[in-house]
Amino acid sequence: MNKKLSLIKNYRLYLYAMLLAYTGALFWQLLIPQLANSFTTWGSNIDWQREIALWNIGMIVVIMIALTSDNYLLQWIATLQSTILCLVLGFNHLVSLVISANFSAYIHILGVVEVLLIGGGWGLILIIKDKKTIPEIFHK
């Protein structure tokens, strides 16, 4: 299998995992937003949870378009977008966890593990592994 096909396979696996994560977050933020009140230091605010849920809809659409295409660039862009989002949101959870030192704020712990380390870290590894292929895309 050539390098590009291997990368596409890895991007697709990552994007399927992220599709599942964004869909799960969408449902809990829309249907059971009171979890934030119990398990974060941020408290419950339906409006900010709905706003995040709407962002999740946007990410779900982008990922679905990338997954239904064999276009390498679309998959790379969706991976980059998701990686950046996961890194900044996961870091935000880490900051809240460290500042509050409240380790019963389980959503922050999950945010660090799932969002920062898995979503951000996995995506970053894929992008770094692809560093030689990416410039070729922009020179077409």
Query: Does 133 or 56 have the greater pLDDT score?
Result: 56
Q: Reply yes or no on whether the pLDDT at 125 is more than 90.
A: yes
28-58 burial string, b = 16+ CB within 10 Å, else e?
ebbeebeebeebbbbeeeeeebeebbebbee
In 3D space, the residue among 58, 56, 16 whose CA is nearest the CA of residue 33 turns out to be: 56
- Length of the chain counted residue by residue: 140
pTM for the whole structure: 0.86
- Determine the average pLDDT of the residues in 67-78: 91
- Determine the average pLDDT of the residues in 72-95: 92
- Determine the average pLDDT of the residues in 5-34: 89
Q: Reply yes or no on whether the pLDDT at 139 is more than 60.
A: no
| Contact between residue 116 and residue 91 where contact means Cβ atoms under 8 Å apart | yes
pLDDT at 129: 87
Judged on CB neighbours under 10 Å (0-12, 13-18, 19+), 120 is: buried
- Determine the average pLDDT of the residues in 69-80: 91
Three-class SS string for 59-87?
HHHHHHHHHCCCCHHHHHHHHHHHHHHHH
| Contact between residue 120 and residue 86 where contact means Cβ atoms under 8 Å apart | yes
- Determine the average pLDDT of the residues in 54-75: 93
